[in-house]
Amino acid sequence: MFYNLTNIIYLYLRPFIKWFLHRFTRLSELQRICYGHPEGAPRTKGVEMSLTLSRTPSIILMTKHLNNVVQNHVSERTFKERVVQSAMENVVTCKKIDKKIHPDFGPLFRCCVEQIWGYKRLFYIVESIRTTQYDSENLSHEKKLLELWNQLMPTVPLEQRVTKQWQHIGFQGDDPKTDFRGMGMLGMENLLYFCKQYNGAARHVLSHSHHPIHGYTFAIVGINLTSMAYNLLKSGTARTHFYNLRRKCPNIDDFHKLYCYLFYEFDRYWMECKPTSIMDFSYINSKFEKNILIMLSNDNTWFKINLAVEDV
């Protein structure tokens, strides 16, 4: 209640505050943010809020246009040409910023724009993968499923396509295709990325899932963590991590690495909690997610895959 009241008061007073600071500093709000906020999430979130709350018609039209552009799965090159450059030119013009007097503003603002709309672009890429359903008639999908088995069980041949062997790597039944319904091919791509890029870590986690007391279903938990990573991205909560991760636009590998971090850390947390049954999953998963949300509420947070993960 107090937080909402504070926001209402701030939004009401914001035009007066901006006017006063502009008169006092001779700098626009975007300039003050770019010059005064620390690099990463603090600065980029500040720029994002300023653009979102702007009442300047050209800024409003610009944000709507750029939001539409990134929905169309443009290439990274087109993204930089049509989104980043367009935003730069628009803001410099409407805010009457002299590039010769303020040479540092351009690069700082450009970085923020690339992160803001790069994040939105990443969401649409991830969403496209998520809405692609696993199709057992699609040879590419089937090849990835078999590769997943070979990455986790390299010395154990798969007897046939539909078999109880799939349960050994944590699927529910004899045919894994039904388990991918909720997250579509995103669940598959996440699992396969983890197993290929961090094979030792993935097999180490798989061995924990076979614990006689604290075991769990590896693949099903992995798909649940895909859902968690997806929701963090969709809600915007993951912006903290991605804005601190790199100065340029994030890519699909960055999303996969966030997933790998969540899987490895969830496994560690699960084993620390020492559950006696898979029935404890919802409770432990909820606590784990709450811890992640608390960490992401700190604008200095970013998740790095520990070297111990890569070398397990």
Domain that includes residue 18, residue range: 2-130
The SS3 assignment for 126 reads helix
> Are the C-beta atoms of residues 272 and 291 closer than 8 Å to each other?
no
Same domain? 118 vs 172: no
Same domain? 21 vs 108: yes
Return the percentage of the chain with pLDDT > 70, whole number.
90
Same domain? 182 vs 285: yes
Q: Tell me how far apart the alpha carbons of residues 130 and 191 are, in angstroms, rounded to a whole number.
A: 13
Same domain? 287 vs 172: yes
What is the dihedral sign for C-alpha 173, 179, 181, 186? negative
Cα angle vertex 33, ends 29, 39, to 5°? 165
Spatial CA neighbour of 171 closest among 209, 227, 217 = 217
Last residue within a domain, chosen from 130, 149, 165: 130
Q: How many domains does the chain have?
A: 2
Mean predicted lDDT score pLDDT of the chain: 88
* Structure token pair of residue 300: 């200095």
Q: Tell me how far apart the alpha carbons of residues 254 and 289 are, in angstroms, rounded to a whole number.
A: 19
Last residue within a domain, chosen from 91, 109, 130: 130
Q: Tell me how far apart the alpha carbons of residues 85 and 62 are, in angstroms, rounded to a whole number.
A: 12
Last residue within a domain, chosen from 130, 151, 173: 130
Mean pLDDT highest for which of 68-82, 156-170, 298-312?
156-170
Residue whose structure tokens are 């935003």: 87
> Predicted confidence band at 269 (pLDDT cuts at 50, 70, 90)?
very high
Cβ–Cβ contacts within 10 Å for residue 275, how many?
18
Please report, for residues 152, 179, 199, the alpha-carbon distance to residue 155 in angstroms, rounded to integers and kept in the order given: 9, 24, 14
Same domain? 173 vs 258: yes
Q: Tell me how far apart the alpha carbons of residues 32 and 43 are, in angstroms, rounded to a whole number.
A: 10
Average pLDDT over residues 106-133: 94
Same domain? 111 vs 191: no
Same domain? 163 vs 290: yes
Spatial CA neighbour of 62 closest among 92, 33, 98 = 92
* pTM of the predicted structure, to 2 decimals: 0.89
pLDDT at 6 over 60: no
Render 88-99 in DSSP notation, one character per residue: HHHHHHHTT--T
Average pLDDT over residues 165-173: 96
Spatial CA neighbour of 201 closest among 278, 263, 145 = 263
Same domain? 102 vs 207: no
Cα angle vertex 186, ends 193, 207, to 5°? 45
Same domain? 124 vs 171: no
Render 226-256 in DSSP notation, one character per residue: HHHHHHHHHHTTTHHHHHHH-SS---HHHHH
pLDDT at 309 over 70: no
Same domain? 169 vs 114: no
- pLDDT, tens digit (0-9, with 9 covering 90-100), for 204-263: 999 999 999 999 999 999 999 999 999 999 999 999 999 999 888 899 999 999 999 999
Same domain? 76 vs 183: no
Same domain? 19 vs 118: yes
